[in-house]
Amino acid sequence: MNYQVGDLGPLSMVVVDVGNSSIKLARWVDGEIKDMERVGSTDQSGVFRVLDVVREKCDNELRQAIIIASVVPEVTGWLADHIENELELRPFVVGQNTPLPVEVDVPEPSLVGVDRICSAAAAFDHTGHGCTIVDVGSAITIDLIDDDGVFKGGTIMPGPSLQAKSLSDNTAQLPLIEKMFSGDVIGKSTEAAIQSGIHYGTCGAIRGIVEQIATSENRWNQVVLTGGGAEALKEHLDFVDSWVPDLCLMGIGIAYIKRAAEMSG
């Protein structure tokens, strides 16, 4: 897409993705993500660290915007208020004072995670046509956007870390594993067996769902992989066409570009 917005001139953006377990933020420059950082907490200390990083990334010489997409409502308003108080700049929040970047064709669009929608918008921009988006994080979402750029819905299942925690929390003797896949499908210890089971089980589930979507749509879509847990899986996801680590951050920027274009007439 064209990332220029009329005659607004140089545009510097800081994009912020508030997830369930961490906050990612970066500079968004002409369709590229630069200087991405991850803050591994969404509690008060994490939010204050985000404020420091946002301050570092702001460029006072350029037209400035800060854009937030969040799936943690209790963090969203608090973070936006603190950014405004500290930097005297009110952030734009996707889904609130910034419209969603694509049309959402489900019965209750407001209940769809804004991260899923932003990732779908960026995947559509990346491929230029309909595609399937696999996002591996605390949860794994597998979503479909059609050739008209309309988000059609998808699936949600636990990510590797939640699977590991569930096994530990709900059994008497299975340990909580911190490290994921060790390389051998035949685990020679309880820990290795859990690692292998989660890894290959997750890869198999993703493959199965992608195939079911293809069957449902009567076509095989290009598959775009993203998310913090994707790199550990991609070696065994040979049907994936593109791995785009910063897809959601890209989509957050696209949401603002579309808003700015509409506002400029």
Active site residues: 115
Q: Are 102 and 120 in contact (CB under 8 A)?
A: yes
> Of the candidates 11, 26, 101, which has an alpha carbon nearest to the alpha carbon of residue 64?
11
Q: Which two tokens stand for residue 261?
A: 């274009």
Name residues whose C-beta falls within 8 Å of residue 88's C-beta, 6 or more positions apart in sequence: none
Name residues whose C-beta falls within 8 Å of residue 23's C-beta, 6 or more positions apart in sequence: 16, 17, 38, 39, 41, 42, 46, 47, 50, 75
- The owner of tokens 């990732």 is 119
> Of the candidates 250, 206, 242, which has an alpha carbon nearest to the alpha carbon of residue 115?
250
CA distance 190 to 196: 10
Cα dihedral across residues 2, 8, 12, 18: positive or negative: negative
CA distance 178 to 158: 16
For residue 57, give the amino acid letter: K
CA distance 226 to 157: 15
Q: What are the helix (H) ranges across the chain?
A: 44-57, 73-87, 114-127, 160-169, 190-217, 247-263
